Structure formats: C-alpha cells, structure tokens
Homo-oligomer: A and B are copies of this chain.
Amino acid sequence: MANIYPFAGAALQSDNTCKFSVWAPFRQQVALSVIQPEPQIYPMQRDDKGYWHTTIEGLSAGVRYKYILDEATTLPDPASRYQPEGVHGPSEVINPDFEWTDNSWAGLELRDLIIYELHTGTFSQTHDFQGIIDKLGYLRSLGITAIELMPVGQFPGDRNWGYDGVYPFAVQNSYGGVNGLKALVNAAHQHGIAVILDVVYNHLGPEGNYFAQYGPWFTDKYKTPWGPALNFDDAWCDAVRAYYIQNALMWLDEFHIDGLRMDAVHAIWDCGAHHFTAELSALVDALQASSGKKKFLIAEIDLNSPKYITPREKGGYGMHGQWIDEFHHALHSLLTGEVNGYYADFGGLGPMAKSYQDSYVFTGEYSGVRKRHFGVAPLRNDYHQFVVFAQNHDQIGNRMLGDRLTTQLSFEAQKLAAAVVLLSPHIPLLFMGEEYGETRPFQFFTSHSDKDLIAAVTNGRREEFASFAWEGEVPDPQSVETFNNSTLSWHTRTDNAAALMELYRFLIAFRRTRQAMLNTSREGVKVQIPQVEEQLLLVERSGNDDHLLLLFNFSDHAVTYQYTGSGELLKKFDSAAAIWHGPGSTTPDQATTSE
C-alpha cells in the first residue's frame, strides 16, 4: 500500500528536519520558497511518480512557505495544513502535537447517534470552535450524542458554508485553526459527544483553487455542476486518490474525529474496478481495528443505491451510513404542502409512509422530476445506516430566503416534525437551533474576493430558484448582513422554546431507552396509512417484547383512531399535551382493547 499513498505536504520530523513533498508530475522544476522567518529557496527532487521532495534542517512550526513551479509561478501548498493569511497567502508548517485527554473515549456505534449539525461560523457570536465548546454541556443535556461540523477546510474569506474550501488539509484560520479544532474534539469526547466532520471530496472551490497548475487533478471524462470533475479514475488518479485518502485518515486519526460525512458522494466519479469509497472504507475499518475506536463514513448521496453502504464482502463499497434527503422531502412536502421544484415528486402521506418503512421513497418507481425510473430498495440494510432530518443546512439554506420550519409551520406541527424524526428507526439529525425553535434563517453566504465570481454566485443563486417560483428578493450571499442574519439568536427563554427543548430531550431519552426503539432491523417496523383522508400515519415498532404504537396526525384537527389489535394500550407521549405547551391531550391515558 505504501507506494499507493505517498506523503504530500509539509511535516516536521523527529530529527529536527522538515520534510516537504508536492505532486506536480508535468513540471520541469519545482522549488520550495520559505518566506518566513528567513526567506530562502530550496531546490526539490522529482521521484518517478511526479512528487517533488526536499528535507530541510532547522525549520520549526510557524514557517511560512510556497512552491515555485518552473521558476515562474509561486503558489501555496495544495496539502497545506494551515493558511494563516487565507487562501491566497503562504502555507504554514504546523506542530501536530496536542495534549489529548480523551484516551478513554472509544467512539459510538451508528445506532447510538443523535446528530446535531452545526455551522461553526454562525453557531455562536464568537463564530469559532470555542463557541461550540461553550455549548457542549447544553447539547449533552439535550441528549445529543454527536455534533456534525459543516466543512472546516480553508475557504475564501471568513464567511462560507464550507463547500467552497480549497485547502482540504487546512483548518479554517478564522475558526481557530488546527488546535482550535483539536480542542473542540477533545472537549466533545469529554462530554461523551462524538464529532462528525463534513468533508468535500467531489470538488474544490472556485477561488484560491490552484490545483490545475500543479497537475492533472481534474478529468474531462465527467461533468459536474461545479466544473471539471476531480480525477478519481483517469490517468494519474493515484495521487488524487492518495490525497483524499490521507485527508480522511488525518481527520480520523490525528484529529480524533469519529466519523466523516462525505459530501455528494455521487459526484465522486469513479468507474474503475476499485471504487474510491471502497478503498477508503477498508482503510477506515483498519484504523478502527488498530485504534480500538469506532470510526465511520456517512455518505450524502443522491442515487438511492444501497451499494455504497453494503459491506465490501457483499459486493458493496462498505461505507457505513448515508443521508436520506427523500425522507426530508416527504416530510417537508407533507407538512408545508409545498410541491414545487423537486418537491413535485412528493406530497401526501404516501411518500412519508414509504420512507418510514423503506428508507428511500424511490425504490425503482418512476420519478416525474428525474424523468426516469429511480432507485433500488435497501432492504438488506438496517435502519441505523440511514440519517434522517426535518431540516438541515441544505434544506433550509437552499430555500431562497433560508427560512426554517418555525416560520412555515404552527407550533403543533413543529413538534410533530420533531417526533417523526426522533421516533423514526433511522438515525436522527437536528440542525442547530431547531431544538428551541430558532426563527432566524440559515441563508447562503460567502466572502469571496473575486468580483466576477461574486456576480456569478449571485446570478446562479437567482437561477436556482426559478423553478420554485418563490416570491421576494434573493438575499445577497456576499453581504455580511446575510451572515449575521443567519447566526443563531439563542433566544431560548420563551415558553414555546422551553417546551420544545423539553420535548426534544424527552423524545431523545425515550428513543434511547425503549427496546422497541432500539431495534433498527427491518423486521421491527410496520407502517400503515389507516385513514388516508384523515392524514394519519400509523407506525408499529417492536423489539425484545416491547411494542409501541406511533400515531402521527398530519391533519389540522383531532382525529379518532380505532385500534384493532389486542391488549392494553398505555399512553406514553402526546405532543398536544399541556406539558408541551399544546392545546391539551384528548387521548385516554390507558385503554384495553378486546381480542
């Protein structure tokens, strides 16, 4: 394996030297230009795979450098570990040492995840990792077991969702850099909270993207919405694959990250014999075995293809979990009545019931939006391989106004949405602020410096919303106002907010203690629509002699349901109860049904 994964980047060695390596196979000459503390240029030597190397004595952490390509072009390191002056500035050699105190942390199983997705920049008023550390106790008290950080690779400026990152190995300087992230992971583990990191291996951002000048990072075999595809299967792809594999392993090993959420895995184009995700999952499994700490990969993917999360020995790619946008679309469309844009494939109880039962909504049926038959049923994959949500950064932020369900739904319906997600056999994911009913939007924001790019992003944003026919003005992504508007208010002191937080806390605890809830096998869930016109969804869950009857009332009025099974029914939860700031429960506390 060693020769498949050559090192790239700058790394201090134990013998007081610093090793530099950069891949530039078509360049005739590459040199290291140390800029600070003392400017000096060092020649580099090329190996037979196109990597250029040099090892320098007497350099220490904090050294800033760039590479000079063919004596003409001076650029930062694509594998830079730190960009103290942003995406266009020099790279910095870092000290990877950190005083870890999480040795007793062994990680979490997928089935135990209650994920809280957050954006570091807008989570707190300090806009950094420390702002998250300050809230870990709060999150733990809610029952959250994992935080999921939107991408932290260095991006242009200091306001960005993270998907415009161009230095996947460098932790965003404005967030707190390498040690800021390590401190967060360490603190989270001490709170019993796992950390999932969102990583982007399907494209690189548009600004500060110097990769093409280094070598064949891209291929024109495939087309992506973000430009040429990264080269995962064409000539010279080994170095690209090695780069991303090392990136994944850096987070999971050096940073003690528990799992990766891999962005848009369907856009990692690899039609070769050994799919990149399968190669990576084997190495992640090996790291788990050697470290004794649970590690996992969760795919964001738009293919309804269980292959990605099927074990390698069964012919799959061996990733461990995946997001299901369709669950969201079914729920959102049902709750809001929206059937525009891609919601046209959803609406009504049917898709909601389908996703609750089969995870995917489309398992081979014709999709009017996609204009093709779509998907394969994931019936051999347990429910805990699937992540569901009523909201996430995309589903809120890719709305024109970035508006949340709080501004679209009644309080009763918000509680319904929470219960649908948290009582689902799938893994629940909350989006920051959802638990107290944040009403501020989460909008799309950037802080690019390239004017043409800024205009293109703004126009692209407008075009994107054409099919939704939403009304109003598209917020300016580049404006600092948009960023500030999207920062959490932390207005948690209203009665509704308090009740909502209590409800989340209750449902999470319920989910984590009831045997019927802990059963995530396909046999433990039975979904029905007993009365279509009443908008009632019935879910029976069972496990270990525990049985639960879940009734989700999606109508705007009280509904009578006559249970036809046998035995004694005990009411455990009613979101309409006064305790949850509702109109009052009309369900009897107890009922004995006849045989």
Q: Which residues of A contact B (CB under 8 A)?
A: 3-4, 220-223, 233-238, 266, 269, 271-274, 303-307, 310, 314-316, 364, 366, 370-376
Contact = CB atoms under 8 A, between A and B. Distances in A.
B316 A371 contact: no
Nearest to A370: B235
A517 to B, nearest CB: 29
A273 B303 CA distance: 6
A304 B221 CA distance: 19
Contacts of A273: 303-307, 374-376
A565 to B, nearest CB: 36
Contacts of A236: 371-372
Contact of A315 (B234, B238, B310, B371): B310
Given A222-B222, A269-B271, A273-B303, 13 more contacts: A3-B366, A4-B373, A222-B223, A234-B372, A236-B372, A238-B366, A238-B371, A271-B271, A273-B306, A273-B375, A274-B364, A274-B376, A315-B316
A314 B370 CA distance: 29
Nearest to A272: B303
Contacts of A310: 315
A374 B241 CA distance: 13
B271 A266 contact: yes
A305 B272 contact: yes
A271 B265 CA distance: 11
Contacts of A4: 373
A220 B373 CA distance: 19
Nearest to A220: B223
A267 to B, nearest CB: 10
A5 to B, nearest CB: 11
Interface centre among A222, A223, A274, A366 (most CB of B within 10 A): A274
15 contacts: A3-B366, A221-B223, A222-B222, A235-B370, A236-B372, A238-B372, A272-B303, A272-B374, A273-B303, A274-B305, A274-B364, A274-B375, A274-B376, A314-B314, A315-B315
